[in-house]
Amino acid sequence: MIVVTGAAGFIGSCLVSKLNSEGFNHIIVVDKFDNEEKNKNLEGKRILESIDRDDFFTWLDTVGEKVEFIFHLGARTDTAEFDKDLLSKMNTEYTKQIWEKCIQYQIPLVYASSAATYGLGEYGYDDNQENIPNLIPLNPYGESKNDFDKWAISQEEQPFFWAGLKFFNVYGPNEYHKGRMASVIMHAFNQIDKTGAMKLFRSHNPEFKDGEQMRDFVYVKDVVDVCYFLMHHRKNSAIYNLGSGKARTFLDLVKATFKAMDKKEEISFIDTPADIRDKYQYFTEANMAKLKSIGFTQEFTSLEEGVEDYVKNYLSSHSYY
């Protein structure tokens, strides 16, 4: 049995699909299952059992010895959530409980961290664990993720294999339910589809021209391939970056979206809202050397290829992966 928490969500449901495609059907999906739009992500997938996240630890205590692997992807992921107690409960404390159960039942663990832990990148985007205590996340969500990372690397007792994955800007199918937290590609597709044009945030940093703010965009299919690799690798426990390793501009992204939609480019700029301007990241890029050093050799999907696949095979037909 393989457990996937947050399984009805964006990355979780894509991972279930990947596991099914590799012949793994004894999958335990854990989530709240109270969002019908989100539950559509799991339709047609081969699942052994669905467990409410509040019942998960009780369930695990009855079958713990039979669980082969846990992917803990469930979290409160809203970067605009300012209830620190809620974020601590959902993201930090819940993950500590999973960690302790993985030790108790000898279960290997992969959990979701976030590039939000890097803040403005004062210490760069290098997954050197010595830097983790120094990082300054920009919001309570990033703090809750970094709090767990700090706790994990300080533990003397650990699961026999564990990996934390710092997801960068993940995009791809199965994010229809995410609303304003969906990827820029999905927002671009919807805006272009509705208006024939796209508005991007103007740059308020003299070092970057309008639209040339840069992010590390990583396709969700690559993300789940890394998860699958780690499920079989089961050594070199550590926290790893998970991005494409190549920063690209928002202009690149939007131009790729227009092209995939077979529409003429129509791009304009609006001011970045004043309330987020001082916390706006102008550049992120994952240093991927550490993951590659343990044997992950697969090439990451280019932004153009990823956007084309996402737009043509999913967004344009509202299809699921």
Residue whose token pair is 């467990």: 51
215 is in an annotated binding site: yes
> 242 with 168: CB under 8 angstroms?
yes
Residue type, 275: D
234 is in an annotated binding site: no
217 is in an annotated binding site: no
The tokens describing 137, both together, are 């996340």
208 is in an annotated binding site: no
Q: Collapsing DSSP states into helix, strand and coil, what is residue 170? A: strand
145 is in an annotated binding site: yes
26 is in an annotated binding site: no
Distance CA 42, CA 31 (A): 11
10 is in an annotated binding site: yes
User: Residues 225-247, buried b or exposed e (16+ Cβ, 10 A)?
Assistant: bbbbebbebeeebebbbbbbbeb
Distance CA 67, CA 94 (A): 18
Helices (H) and strands (E) in the chain, counts: 12, 13
2 is in an annotated binding site: no
Q: Identify the active-site residue in 111, 118, 125, 141.
A: 141
202 is in an annotated binding site: yes
Q: Identify the active-site residue in 178, 199, 259, 263.
A: 178
Strand pairing category for 2-5 and 69-72 = parallel
Judge whether 178 counts as a catalytic residue: yes
> 311 with 257: CB under 8 angstroms?
yes
> CB-side exposure of 279: number of CA atoms within 13 Å?
15
277 is in an annotated binding site: no
C-alpha dihedral sign at 95, 98, 100, 103: negative
174 is in an annotated binding site: no
74 is in an annotated binding site: yes
Binding residues for substrate: 169, 180, 187, 201-204, 215, 280
Q: Which amino acids are annotated catalytic?
A: 141, 178
Binding residues for NADP(+): 10-11, 31-32, 38, 53, 73-77, 145, 170, 178
Binding residues: 10-11, 31-32, 38, 53, 73-77, 145, 169-170, 178, 180, 187, 201-204, 215, 280
